[in-house]
Structures are given as structure tokens and as C-alpha cells.
């Protein structure tokens, strides 16, 4: 099932990246958005089988900072006033030592990304924080302290309601298991760690920071059937690795690299991993498909229907490695054919939803086909206008789930009313005839049909009158299609068939992606 959804997402949203990533730029870690923008969290929960710690990170690694020493914590926005000792500390252990010595309730360490501080309490307003500070000073507080307000990027980590750590989430800090075990983030298990960012809306963007190859463990089983032959899974793993690197900047403004949904790649984390797909990732570790030394956009789809397509015939970019190829491996496999029907009324409402109003739909015609046989132009004729749908917009308008591909032929059925009638008067009654079925017999006995728009002349005793049938209006359109998806790059069902026939993953990739190399 996951396969279908992925393909629609790719077709919907993918923009061809102009930034060519070179193989050597492959990232060690990726940041995957789990909860963001409208779905950003008020609170996020992290659990681990061992202690939870924090580490500073960069593109290449992680450096341990502090052991929170609990295994079930919650992260929330820090919107409070706190009492804060003026002294800065180099080390969290110094702060913890003072907390132990002071024995003050509600004290916890705060990290600004560089120095450590000692915070006390959470106060909804400044006055109550000041009152508490006065009381502490009256009770003999040995340190100079101020009341501070949390920054808009501060996060508070609590264990059973008690604050155990505060930190500035605009710094690169990851929350993870002390011994690198997979952790639960809001009930789902992931490798790597959790990164919390407070973006402009103030809520918490929840991110899973994970090594690229471990991320792919959680992607490939969601993009392919895990029971498929290993070589087809390996081809899928390389395609997913390519896709990841090409898409790295996609969510930069939201604070992470890729999202975990079909918008980027469906990522299910540790809980969705399977041994077959982990093996496929392992056996292709670090391998990318390149063209001219650059990592390529490895588009794939469910079934080509027998021939793949050139990239510019679906979207606009002309990619030298996404060329239409004969694909006998997909023929007869699942998803290789489909059909769909629309009434003229349904066509009108589909167009209307796309912001196009050309009145009642009277006809639809295939305007042009690509060399590979896919429809690149579909002309729609309305009662007061015409609209030509092009390339991917054809499926977008009718629905990616209904028009499974642009590899189709179409037939139409005229309306009852459009079957033009004429009346023939007899001596005593009137009979209606369907003009389209009317035949004329000329004086030399040749039989011909009445052509639409031409009409016939009827000569009576007194006058001659021309009868012209109106152009036919169509009320139903039937699409007969081949394949499923946009038809660019690898056909998944074709890849499966190739693997079954004994081809290796490199053969599969080189069949579907023109002129590519497999490089590390």
C-alpha cells in the first residue's frame, strides 16, 4: 500500500533540484521533521531503555554534553520567569554540585549552548519571581541572583513535572540514549536522537536526527514490499539514498532536512524496519547513482505499463538520465492497466476545482502524445471556452488516484439529446428519426451517411429547407490506461520482475536510468 501513496506524493510535489549534489557531499546525518508547522507540538516525550543524555552536533558527529540521568522525559516550551544565579559555569557538574549543596526545591541546570547556569523555579510573572528571590535572600542565599525571562527559543526538560534541564534550542543540541539505543519519540521508536526547535510560531518542531544509512532502514520498507527479491530492494535503497541527498534543502526554513511523510519520503523509523530492507541498505551502503559525476534525481513509480517516459513530458526539466525506455518487465504485472470513467458533469466539477470554468463540457480530445505514447495534451471543449490540460496537470486535475497515469486512450459517448432527430411526416402521423443513423440514397444508388454539420436538404412541393444536425455533445468519457504513476525512472513492478529473472540491482538501475553509473 505504501508504494502507491509514495508515488502520488512524488508526482504531486517534487521539484527537480537545481543544486547538483556531488557524491562526496553525502551527509553523515539527516534531520527528519516528525512534527512541524501546523502539527508542531506543545509537548514532546522521549523515552529510552537507558539514561537520556544531550549532545552537541554538527554535520559529522555528536559530542556528549550532559547526562540527564532519567529515561522518560518531556520537552516543553519555556515561557516562564526564573531566578538565575549570576555566576556562569563551564561544566554542568559544577551546577549539580551547588544544587546538591543548596538543597533548594525547583533548581536545575540551564545550558545556553556555551555556558551553564543555575535556574530556580518557574514563575508565570516577574513579580512572583522577585518575591521568591527576596525570600531566598532572606533565608541566606549565598549567591548573587537575578530574575530572568526565558528566551523564545528556550526548551524546558522535565521528568515527572520536575525541571531537570533547560537549554537554548536554537543551538545544535540532540537528546538521545546514553548508549545510542533507539529511543521512543512520542510513542514511536527511532534510531538516533530527538532535536527540538522552536520556530517562529513558538511551538516545538520535533525532529529525528539520524545517520543517513539508518534513516534509509526506516524508509525502504515504507517505499517497497519487503518480501520482494533482494536485488529489487537494493535498487530501491539506492534510489532512496539518491532521493535523500537531492532533497536535503527541502525543509531548511522549517529547521530540518526532509519530512517523514510522503511529501519527501515515507519514514516509519525503527519500528518499521525489516531484515530484508536493512540488508538491501547494508549491501548498497554509501552507493549512489550518478550521471556525469553528479547524484541524480532517482524518480520511480509503481508500474510503467510497458514504456517509461522522458522527464520533460511529465514535468518541465529535461533530465538526460530520465529517458523513455521499453519496459517489457512491467507488462502483465500488477498495476499495469486501469480504466476510469467521467461524466461531462464530473469533468466540469474537476475543472472547477482547478479554477477553470468553460461552461458545460461538450467534448474532450487527446491533443498530443509523446514519442513514448503518453498523453501530453488533453483538450477540453466547454460551452463557452476551451482548456488544454498539459502533462502532469492532466492527472492533477482528474486526481492522481483516479487517472493512474497519462499512458491512456480515451473514448466518449454522445448525449441522448445530441443524437439529432428529424421528423418525417407521413399522411397521418409523425415519426422521429435519428439523423446520425440516417442514410441517403442518391439517384445512382450510392449510400452515404448524413455528416455532422453538413445536413441534408428536404424538397417539398412548395419549398426547399436545409436540416442541419448540431455538433454532438458528449456526456461520458472512458479512459483505458496502462501503468501506474508518472512513468519516470524506475518501474517498481518492473524492477521486481527483473530481479526475479536474475538481474542484479545495478542492471535494474541502468535499465531504468539512462547512462548512469553506480558510485560510492
The residues of the shown chain that bind Zn ion, judged by CB under 5 A, are 259, 263-264
The residues facing 210 across adjacent strands are: 30
Strands 52-57 and 81-85: unpaired
Which residue, 66 or 190, has its beta carbon nearer to Zn ion? Answer: 190
Nearest approach, Cβ of 496 to Zn ion (angstroms)?
A: 26
Nearest approach, Cβ of 246 to Zn ion (angstroms)?
A: 13
Among the residues of 148-219, which ranges form H helices? 212-217
Nearest approach, Cβ of 312 to Zn ion (angstroms)?
A: 24
Which residue, 272 or 344, has its beta carbon nearer to Zn ion? Answer: 272
C-alpha cell at 113: 549552548
Nearest approach, Cβ of 214 to Zn ion (angstroms)?
A: 19
Which residue, 52 or 259, has its beta carbon nearer to Zn ion? Answer: 259
CA-to-CA distance for 387 and 404, rounded, in angstroms? 21
Which residue, 171 or 252, has its beta carbon nearer to Zn ion? Answer: 252
Strands 300-301 and 490-491: parallel
Nearest approach, Cβ of 256 to Zn ion (angstroms)?
A: 9
Residue 236's contacts (CB-CB under 8 Å, 6 or more residues apart) are 220, 223, 224, 277, 280, 300, 490, 492, 495
Strands 439-441 and 430-434: unpaired
Residue pair 352/385 in contact (Cβ under 8 Å)? The answer is: no
Nearest approach, Cβ of 240 to Zn ion (angstroms)?
A: 14
Which residue, 118 or 259, has its beta carbon nearer to Zn ion? Answer: 259
Residue pair 206/34 in contact (Cβ under 8 Å)? The answer is: yes
Nearest approach, Cβ of 9 to Zn ion (angstroms)?
A: 9
Nearest approach, Cβ of 33 to Zn ion (angstroms)?
A: 7
Residues 129-141: b if buried by 16+ CB within 10 A, e if exposed: beebbeebeeeeb
Which residue, 252 or 451, has its beta carbon nearer to Zn ion? Answer: 252
Which residue, 73 or 259, has its beta carbon nearer to Zn ion? Answer: 259
Nearest approach, Cβ of 244 to Zn ion (angstroms)?
A: 11
Nearest approach, Cβ of 254 to Zn ion (angstroms)?
A: 9
Strands 204-211 and 258-259: unpaired
Cα–chain center distance at 122? 40
Q: Is 176 exposed, middle or buried (0-12, 13-18, 19+ CB in 10 A)?
A: buried
**Within a 13 Å sphere around the CA of 148, how many CA atoms are in the beta-carbon half?**
18
CA-to-CA distance for 370 and 382, rounded, in angstroms? 25
Residue pair 489/516 in contact (Cβ under 8 Å)? The answer is: no
Nearest approach, Cβ of 251 to Zn ion (angstroms)?
A: 6
Which residue, 263 or 396, has its beta carbon nearer to Zn ion? Answer: 263
Which residue, 254 or 283, has its beta carbon nearer to Zn ion? Answer: 254
Nearest approach, Cβ of 205 to Zn ion (angstroms)?
A: 13
C-alpha cell at 145: 541572583
Helices 230-246 and 505-512: angle between axes, nearest 10 degrees: 50
CA-to-CA distance for 271 and 263, rounded, in angstroms? 20
Nearest approach, Cβ of 245 to Zn ion (angstroms)?
A: 15
Residue 110's contacts (CB-CB under 8 Å, 6 or more residues apart) are 82, 84, 116, 117, 118, 119, 165, 166, 167
Which residue, 15 or 49, has its beta carbon nearer to Zn ion? Answer: 15
CA-to-CA distance for 243 and 257, rounded, in angstroms? 12
Among the residues of 104-206, which ranges form H helices? 126-138
**Within a 13 Å sphere around the CA of 48, how many CA atoms are in the beta-carbon half?**
27
State the virtual CA torsion across 308, 311, 313, 314 in degrees, nearest 10: 90
Among the residues of 139-284, which ranges form H helices? 212-217, 220-223, 230-246, 275-282
Which residue, 259 or 394, has its beta carbon nearer to Zn ion? Answer: 259
Give the residue among 163, 83, 166 at the shortest CA–CA distance from 130: 83
Give the residue among 162, 165, 161, 192 at the shortest CA–CA distance from 177: 192
Nearest approach, Cβ of 16 to Zn ion (angstroms)?
A: 15
Amino acid at each position: 500500500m505504501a508504494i502507491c501513496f509514495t508515488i502520488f506524493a512524488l508526482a504531486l510535489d517534487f521539484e527537480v533540484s537545481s543544486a547538483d549534489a556531488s557524491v562526496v557531499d553525502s551527509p553523515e546525518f539527516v534531520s527528519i521533521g516528525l512534527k512541524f508547522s501546523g502539527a508542531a507540538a506543545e509537548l514532546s516525550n522521549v523515552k529510552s531503555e537507558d539514561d537520556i543524555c544531550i549532545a552537541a552536533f554538527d554535520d559529522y558527529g555528536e559530542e556528549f554534553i550532559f547526562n540527564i540521568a532519567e529515561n522518560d522525559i518531556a520537552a516543553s516550551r519555556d515561557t516562564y520567569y526564573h531566578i538565575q544565579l549570576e555566576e556562569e559555569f563551564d561544566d554542568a557538574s559544577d551546577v549539580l554540585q551547588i544544587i546538591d549543596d543548596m538543597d533548594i526545591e525547583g533548581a536545575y541546570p540551564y545550558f545556553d549552548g556555551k555556558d551553564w547556569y543555575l535556574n530556580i523555579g518557574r514563575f508565570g510573572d516577574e513579580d512572583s519571581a522577585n518575591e521568591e528571590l527576596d525570600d531566598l535572600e532572606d533565608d541566606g542565599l549565598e549567591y548573587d541572583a537575578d530574575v530572568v525571562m526565558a528566551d523564545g527559543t528556550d526548551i524546558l526538560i522535565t521528568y515527572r513535572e520536575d525541571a531537570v534541564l533547560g537549554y537554548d534550542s536554537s543551538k545544535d543540541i540532540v537528546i538521545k540514549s546514553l548508549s545510542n539505543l533507539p529511543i521512543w519519540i512520542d510513542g514511536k521508536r527511532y534510531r538516533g536522537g530527538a532535536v527540538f526547535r522552536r520556530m517562529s510560531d513558538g511551538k516545538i518542531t520535533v525532529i529525528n536526527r539520524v545517520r543517513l544509512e539508518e534513516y534509509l532502514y526506516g524508509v525502504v520498507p515504507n517505499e517497497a514490499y519487503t518480501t520482494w527479491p533482494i536485488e529489487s530492494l537494493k535498487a530501491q535503497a539506492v534510489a532512496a539514498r539518491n532521493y535523500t541527498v537531492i532533497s536535503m534543502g527541502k525543509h531548511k526554513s522549517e529547521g530540518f532536512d526532509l519530512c517523514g511523510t510522503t511529501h519527501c519520503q515515507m519514514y516509519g523509523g525503527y519500528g518499521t524496519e525489516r531484515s530484508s530492507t536493512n540488508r538491501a541498505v547494508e549491501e548498497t551502503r554509501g552507493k549512489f547513482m550518478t550521471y556525469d559525476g553528479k547524484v541524480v534525481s532517482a524518480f520511480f513509480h509503481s508500474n510503467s505499463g510497458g514504456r517509461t517516459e522522458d522527464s520533460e513530458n511529465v514535468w518541465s526539466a529535461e533530465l538526460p538520465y530520465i529517458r523513455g525506455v521499453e519496459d517489457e518487465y512491467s507488462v502483465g504485472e500488477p498495476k499495469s492497466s486501469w480504466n476510469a470513467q467521467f461524466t461531462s458533469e464530473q469533468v466540469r466539477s474537476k475543472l472547477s476545482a482547478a479554477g477553470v470554468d468553460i461552461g458545460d463540457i461538450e467534448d474532450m480530445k487527446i491533443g498530443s502524445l509523446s514519442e513514448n505514447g503518453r498523453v501530453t495534451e488533453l483538450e477540453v471543449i466547454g460551452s463557452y471556452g476551451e482548456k488544454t490540460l498539459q502533462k502532469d496537470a492532466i492527472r492533477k486535475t482528474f486526481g492522481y488516484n483516479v487517472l493512474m497515469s497519462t499512458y491512456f486512450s480515451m473514448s466518449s459517448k454522445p448525449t441522448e439529446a445530441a443524437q439529432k432527430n428529424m421528423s418525417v411526416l407521413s399522411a397521418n402521423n409523425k415519426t422521429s428519426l435519428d439523423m446520425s443513423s440516417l442514410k441517403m440514397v442518391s439517384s445512382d444508388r450510392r449510400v452515404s451517411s448524413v455528416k455532422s454539420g453538413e445536413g441534408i436538404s428536404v424538397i417539398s412541393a412548395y419549398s426547399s429547407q436545409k436540416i442541419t444536425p448540431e455538433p454532438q455533445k458528449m456526456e461520458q468519457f472512458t479512459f483505458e490506461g496502462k501503468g501506474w504513476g508518472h512513468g519516470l525512472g524506475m518501474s517498481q513492478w518492473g524492477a521486481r520482475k527483473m530481479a526475479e529473472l536474475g538481474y542484479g540491482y545495478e542492471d535494474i538501475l541502468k535499465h531504468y536510468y539512462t547512462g548512469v553509473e553506480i558510485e560510492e
